[in-house]
């Protein structure tokens, strides 16, 4: 039989390790943050509300080769859309007008080379 007694120089299969919060590959509702040491996803194990606008998060890196456990701070910056609830007891500043992100449609008549035409037949 050909190939008997030879070793492959490459691994038979490449299967990078994955961390799953739930079995069966279901999507998780848990938020992840990037580990500042290795940029792998880190899950939030616990949190502590410091003020109404600041929360500390205890995070665990999912990269077993890293294992970094760290605390991050989550802070309210400003309101983008005020929503429907009035909460005058909270001091929630509104985003300055010059910092509001605007997403505009492309100008009328502009040609987009990547846009597929609905009317081309060939
Ligand atoms: Zn890490």
Distance of CA 76 to the CA centre of its chain: 18
Give the tens place of pLDDT for each residue, 39-57.
999 999 999 999 999 999 9
Q: What's the average pLDDT block by block, 10 residues per block, for the chain (122 residues)?
A: 57 59 57 93 94 94 96 93 90 88 74 71 61
Q: How far is the CA of 102 from the centre of ligand 1 (A)?
A: 35
3-state SS of 1-51 is: CCCCCCCCCCCCCCCCCCCCCCHHHCCCCCCEEECCCCCCEEEEEEEEECC
Q: How far is the CA of 13 from the centre of ligand 1 (A)?
A: 25
Q: How far is the CA of 85 from the centre of ligand 1 (A)?
A: 39
Q: How far is the CA of 62 from the centre of ligand 1 (A)?
A: 7
């Amino acid at each position: 039989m050909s190939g008997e007694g030879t070793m492959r120089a490459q691994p038979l299969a490449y299967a990078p390790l994955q961390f799953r919060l739930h079995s069966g590959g279901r999507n998780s509702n848990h938020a992840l943050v990037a580990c500042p040491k290795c940029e792998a996803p880190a899950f939030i194990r616990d949190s502590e509300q410091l003020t109404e606008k600041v929360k500390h998060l205890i995070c665990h890196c999912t990269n077993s080769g890293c294992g970094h456990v760290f605390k991050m701070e989550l802070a309210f910056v400003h309101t983008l859309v005020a929503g429907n609830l009035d909460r005058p007891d909270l001091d929630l500043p509104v985003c300055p007008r010059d910092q509001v992100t605007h997403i505009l449609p492309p100008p009328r008549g502009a040609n987009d080379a990547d846009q597929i035409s609905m009317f081309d037949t060939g």
